[in-house]
Every structure is written in C-alpha cells, then in structure tokens.
Amino acid sequence: MSDFTSDFWHYYVAGLTLISILACLVLLWISGTTKVKARDDNTTGHIWDEDLREMNNPLPKWWVYLFIITVVFGLIYGLLYPMFGSKQGLLGWSQTGQYQTEKQRNLDAVAPLFAAFSEMEVEQLARDPAAMAIGSRLYMNFCAQCHAADARGSRSFPNLTNNDWMWGGDPEAIAYTITNGRMGVMPPMAAAVGGPNEVLNLAHYVLSLSGSPHDTVRAAQGRGSWASCAACHGSDGTGNTAMGAPNLTDNYWLHGWGVDAVVRAINEGIVNVMPGQSHLLNEQQIHVLTAYVWSLNNSTSN
C-alpha cells in the first residue's frame, strides 16, 4: 500500500499532465508543417463513399488559434489550481478547503438557531417541531445510511425505535455514542465452551432465554456453559450497557436469529463498529441529533 502513497505518483501525474499538454502543441506543429503531395485538382487521392474527396487544404486559422488558446489555458490553469500532481497551485485552492469554507458559511448562517437549541434540554428539543425537523435532516444525512430511513436498522445495524439500547438510551449515552462512536466486540467463545456439541447446546440455551423455539433437552445441557457468557451478558442474560453486551432475553436479534446464527456468533465472535461523528458534526448539531434519536422511542407529549 505504501507504493501508492509515495511521492513518485505525484511526479508521475504532474509529468504525464505536462507531457499531454505539450504533446498537443507538437501535434499542432506537425499537422501545420507536414506537406502532403497534392494532385493537380488539390486533392490527396483519398476517396470515401465513391465521391467524397479529401482536399489538401490547411487547417482553418480559427481552429488553430482555438487549439493554441486551449493549450495556453491548460498551462495557466495548472499553475493556478492543483493540476500537476501534489502542487497546490498559486491560488492555494483545494477541494477540502472549498468544502470547509462552504461548511463554515452554512454553519454561520444557522448559528443563531442552534444557539437557541443549545440552551434547551433534550426532552424540550424533542417537543420542538423546528428542532425535530432539523434533527430529522441530520439523521437522514449522517445516520440513515446504516440505521435506515425509518430508523429500524437492519442486520448488524441497531433498531433505534425499539428502546433496546446496547450502550444505554438516556440522552447522555446517545450523545456520547454519536460523538465518539462505539465498538462492540464479542470474542470467539467456542474454545471456552468446548466442542461443537457443547456450542450447539449453549446456542439452544441462549434461545431459551427469550422464549424462542429451541430444543429443551439441549438447552438444559447448555445451561452449564452459560458461565462463559454471563460475565458480559449477565447471569440472567439481560446484557450490560457498560460493555455494549446485548440483552438476550427480549427476542431482538441484531446479528441474526435462530440456531445457526447463534452458533456462528459463538464460534466466530462478532465485531460491530459505529464511527464517531464529531469530525462531521459540531456540539450543537449533535445535541439536536441526540434529541431526535431519543424521541424515536420516547413519548414527546406534553
């Protein structure tokens, strides 16, 4: 991978760009100086469609001038803007700088509105139609890609509407999650449980915790292996929000339901990552978005 980030590629791009522009001038010079022996009727002898004859006329001057202007424009543009490899250009323009400028301009425009929201508690914001309209748009821009437009999520992407929170559903926990992200890790547990038969028994016991269809005999045999899981999921299987360990008693299956899914989780473990959004959203935006997410499964009536 380091080969693709070395300085060589900057020089490669710069050289290829410059050579391409200069090659256009060479092509123009060749086409203007090369002489073709013409016939008495000023044709080259090339005929298409039986009667279309190629004349031996020079390029139109307007075409030549336009070609030269294009090449000169390309050179000037390359000096002013970042066109030659990693060179920034005399104007110092960059797409990142342009993005940051436009982003800051938009933030400045709505700053008074967000300043008013920052003085309100999450519960108050959840009852404010203007705040929720903005929160909805923030959600669609930064959250819906994973949690879906209706916030019901999908496999491995939590449902935000069912009040089942792995890391806690109070405003402080939600704000922390949005700001810093979360990483949930369940290590492979097959070695700690035993062989494939013990893993299968444990899977049936896990299903029994939520009343899901299971083999009662295997579930009884797998109860003894539950100690390997209780450290995270609790002795009763209700989970641990401090560790992000899911509640296994509520019949909500984030990573798939059924014996096969549970066996796979025990054998292979699970890694689930939500990236933090603090590099995209400021504190005031996160405050409004927190209120919107909180409102998805909390009553906002007065």
Task: Report the candidate in 188, 178, 185 with the shortest Cα–Cα distance to residue 146.
Answer: 178
pLDDT number for residue 39: 74
Q: Write the DSSP symbol of residue 299.
A: -
Domain 188-268 in CATH 1.10.760.10? yes
The Cα 205–Cα 208 span in angstroms is 5
Count of CB atoms within 10 A of residue 126's CB?
22
- Tell me which residues of the chain have a pLDDT lower than 70: 1-5, 38, 299-302
Structure tokens at 19: 């050579």
Architecture of domain 107-184+275-295: Orthogonal Bundle (1.10)
Q: Please give the model's pTM, rounded to 2 decimal places.
A: 0.72
Q: What is residue 302's predicted lDDT score, i.e. its pLDDT?
A: 47
Phi-psi region of 142 (alpha: psi -120 to 50; beta: other; left: phi over 0): alpha
**Equal CATH topology for 107-184+275-295 and 188-268:** yes
48-81 confidence digits (pLDDT tens): 888 788 777 777 889 889 989 999 998 999 899 9
Domain boundaries, the chain: 2-80, 107-184+275-295, 188-268
DSSP helix/strand/coil, 161 = coil
SS3 113: helix
**b or e along 203-229 (b: 16 or more beta carbons within 10 Å of the residue's beta carbon)?**
bbbbbbbbebebbeebbebbeebbebb
